[in-house]
Amino acid sequence: MTDGEKPAEPKGEKSLRDEFVDRRPTINDVARLTGVSKKTVSRVINKSPAVKENTREEILRVMHEIGYAPDPQARGLAFRRSFLIGMIYDNPNPQYVVNMQQGLLDGMRGTGFELVVHPCDRASETFLVDVRNFVERQKLYGVILTPSVSEDERVPPILRQIGCEFIRIASVSLDEPEHMIVSHDHLGGAAAGRHLAGLGHTRIGFISGRDSFRSSHERRRGLEEALVERGLTLDEDLVASGAYTFESGFECALDLLQRPKSPTAIFAANDEMAAGVLQAARTLDIRVPDALSVVGYDNFQLAERLWPRLTTVHTPTREIGRRASTKLINPVPAVEVEREDPRALPSLVIRDTTAPPI
Amino acid sequence: MTDGEKPAEPKGEKSLRDEFVDRRPTINDVARLTGVSKKTVSRVINKSPAVKENTREEILRVMHEIGYAPDPQARGLAFRRSFLIGMIYDNPNPQYVVNMQQGLLDGMRGTGFELVVHPCDRASETFLVDVRNFVERQKLYGVILTPSVSEDERVPPILRQIGCEFIRIASVSLDEPEHMIVSHDHLGGAAAGRHLAGLGHTRIGFISGRDSFRSSHERRRGLEEALVERGLTLDEDLVASGAYTFESGFECALDLLQRPKSPTAIFAANDEMAAGVLQAARTLDIRVPDALSVVGYDNFQLAERLWPRLTTVHTPTREIGRRASTKLINPVPAVEVEREDPRALPSLVIRDTTAPPI
DNA sequence: CTGAAAGCGCTTACAG
DNA sequence: CTGAAAGCGCTTACAG
């Protein structure tokens, strides 16, 4: 079982691979072929330092040669924990979901973990039972929660009780840092506000998302901060309650634009609603951006498909996802302070729906 | 262990549940509490008919009472096959991906299977190895392939060799019926063609998707069939090669609309490209639908957000997904002929981008 | 119709 | 630094 064997028994190596054409090699095969116990092979798999360097190398060589990969199912059974990561979500926007999935997968690539998707409905009576069953039955290694389920305070206690790792993605911190990835939406709201105020707008309208969504509050908070910087305040008469949908954006804009003192600019709390604002403006024959400036939030593909192309706030959803799964798999020691990387922060993208007021 | 026990030992039942607060019940618990061997419990789990009705009922009662659910991991290890279904895809459209996932999950609800998502890149050198490793390592129960990976003839032989079930979703049949869900895109293309020809258009342009996508060919084929019905033919001078992207739709339309004999209507092979056509028309100051009719394909949300709202062909992606996972889990006996349900067929949705030619 | 034994491919104490 | 035994929670032959 030394290096000398390679040139000595070329035929032996051939048949070695042949043995595994219709059967995958197991830990026992590796142990047998390398002359150690399976426990030692297990140590190598689990990167235990308590293995002599020579032995480890030889074992790795054999593993590579016969194309061995440990069976996640068997490992999971013994570990009492699978190598599956669940994404639990209720965000209805397809672009958000897909970007987030891609990001989570980015952070999981090469780790041996797989992503199991699990949409849910917070309003359902069986919601909590469903989540619990999902996590418990699959013995999930961990779970990623995205807005707005991530904001539901009933879920974390259950996960803690079951002993399931979790990361909550939200616009603002809601939990201990080791359980959070924060998107800082108020910064995006402030960027939108500064842009509009900077163009000279003073009557700036706001269309919110549903009240139960933290992101909507954060985006509004940012807007208000920016206005205050300019000595302005958000006029309650220029605020409308939307629901993050295209239709609600349309209705709210129709409403706002027909009020006695209508806004010269509207900040819609997401792109879907901003698209509705554009439709409403057309319906009322109000030209954008000449007579009305519009800013959205998300910077999904839709923003570039609209006409005029939408000025909006970019959220690095995929990057946030990547961080979330990375953090779930490799918990950051509490000592290490996470620095805010600008790549994970929202940023304004100026296109064609904003201009100075007439 | 009869019905009499319930009122007789309420305390016994209480402590029974208490036993499983920090530990999930296993097959052994069910066997012990019900006084049979675990093999018999296993028979009930696997719906074997060889269990006396009384015994089965009693076992089911106990299972329900203590909240027993078999461990998919342990079951998978013994079965040499997991309860995971993989979705392998490379369609870049988020809406398609999400709708398909929802459909697949619809068909899996209540079955105990979970969905593992696996985007891929057919152009990658390691593509086939990646797919094989994914399926083999996770011992996937089965795999769903969506366009355009579903059209790759290198994949099915690998899956067959590994012994992994699979369903290919495509616009046209490419395999034995038990492995296919067909979306019949030529029917959608024909509907688009009939609509435009019916409005009186004779110079109808077509923007294709990438040549390697079957759906683009099928949609074109349908268009041509419809034109022939009206005694028309598709003029090669009015055809442009797109790539299913917004940008390619824009470029192709710019090209087509500036040719000497430009079309009065354009059928773009998907909504993304149709959105590009609308932008191009605006750029050239061509009014839609007055001077140019436009039809897309997909009926994704985008179609309603555009202005004018896009006439397009609806594809029941979610329904197709539901059928695919249902078929994967419950293979249809070869004898049963599948009838084409209209709910799974494409259908025209007329909105505001089509009108008679001037 | 039912069960005792062995096994799926790993890991966890426990030794040495 | 290394290993023999027992176990994770199920199922598959094989009996009866």
Determine contact, residues A281/A258, Cβ cutoff 8 Å: no
Pick B54 or A266 by higher pLDDT: A266
pLDDT of residue A8: 39
- Tens digits of per-residue pLDDT, B183-208? 999 999 999 999 999 999 999 999 99
- Tens digits of per-residue pLDDT, B60-87? 999 998 889 999 999 999 999 999 999 9
pLDDT of residue A207: 98
- pLDDT > 70 fraction of chain B, expressed in percent and rounded: 92
As a whole number, mean pLDDT of residues B284-301 equals: 97
Q: Which of residues 206-225 of A touch B (CB under 8 A)?
A: none
Phi, psi of B205 (to 5 degrees): -95, 160
Torsion of CA A12, A15, A20, A21, to 10 degrees: 160
Residue B37 confidence class, pLDDT cut points 50, 70, 90? confident
Torsion sign over Cα B128, B129, B131, B136? positive
Above 80 in pLDDT, residue B15? no
- Contact between A307 and B282 using a beta-carbon 8 Å cutoff: yes
Q: Is A185-315 a CATH 3.40.50.1220 domain?
A: no
Determine the distance in angstroms separating the CA of A341 from the nearest CA of chain B, rounded to an integer. Answer: 27
Q: How much is the mean pLDDT over chain B?
A: 91
Note whether B282 contacts A: Cβ–Cβ < 8 A: yes
Determine the distance in angstroms separating the CA of B263 from the nearest CA of chain A, rounded to an integer. Answer: 23
B80 chain-A contacts, CB cut-off 8 A: none
Residue B11 confidence class, pLDDT cut points 50, 70, 90? very low
Q: What homologous superfamily is domain A5-70 in, according to CATH?
A: lambda repressor-like DNA-binding domains (1.10.260.40)
Same topology between domain A78-183+318-341 and domain A185-315:
yes
pLDDT of residue A246: 97
pLDDT of residue B10: 42
Q: Which nucleotides of D are covered by protein (CB under 7 A)?
A: 1-5, 7-13
Rounded-to-integer distance, Cα B89 and Cα B320, Å: 15
CATH class of B78-184+318-341: alpha beta
- Tens digits of per-residue pLDDT, A64-101? 988 899 999 999 999 999 999 999 999 999 999 999 99
pLDDT of residue A7: 40
Mutation target to probe the A interface, by most A beta carbons within 10 A, among B26, B45, B71, B73 is B73
pLDDT of residue B54: 85
**In this complex, which of A69, A97, A139 lies closest to B73 when CB atoms are compared?**
A139
Rounded-to-integer distance, Cα B189 and Cα B160, Å: 33
Rounded-to-integer distance, Cα B275 and Cα A307, Å: 10
Query: For chain B, what is the radius of gyration of the CA atoms?
Result: 27
SS3 B144: strand
pLDDT of residue A123: 94
Q: Which of A214-223, A242-251, B54-63, B325-334 has the lowest mean pLDDT?
A: B325-334
A207-CA/D5-C1' distance, Å: 67
Note whether A97 contacts B: Cβ–Cβ < 8 A: yes
pLDDT of residue B3: 39
- Strand C footprint, Cβ within 7 Å: A 24, 26-28, 38-39, 41-42, 45-46, 68-71, 74-75, 77-79; B 36-37, 39-40, 43, 49-56, 74, 77-78, 80
A24 chain-B contacts, CB cut-off 8 A: 136
pLDDT of residue B5: 37
Q: Which of residues 67-86 of B touch A (CB under 8 A)?
A: 69, 71-74, 76-77, 82, 84
Determine the distance in angstroms separating the CA of A136 from the nearest CA of chain B, rounded to an integer. Answer: 9
**Residue boundaries of the structural domains of chain B:** 5-70, 78-184+318-341, 185-314
Q: How much is the mean pLDDT over chain A?
A: 91
CATH class of A78-183+318-341: alpha beta
Quick one: closest CA in B to A92, which residue? Answer: B98
CATH number of B185-314: 3.40.50.2300
Q: Which of residues 303-332 of B touch A (CB under 8 A)?
A: 304-307
Determine contact, residues A296/A312, Cβ cutoff 8 Å: yes
As a whole number, mean pLDDT of residues A187-206 equals: 97
Instruction: Give the A:B interface size as CB pairs under 8 Å.
Output: 99
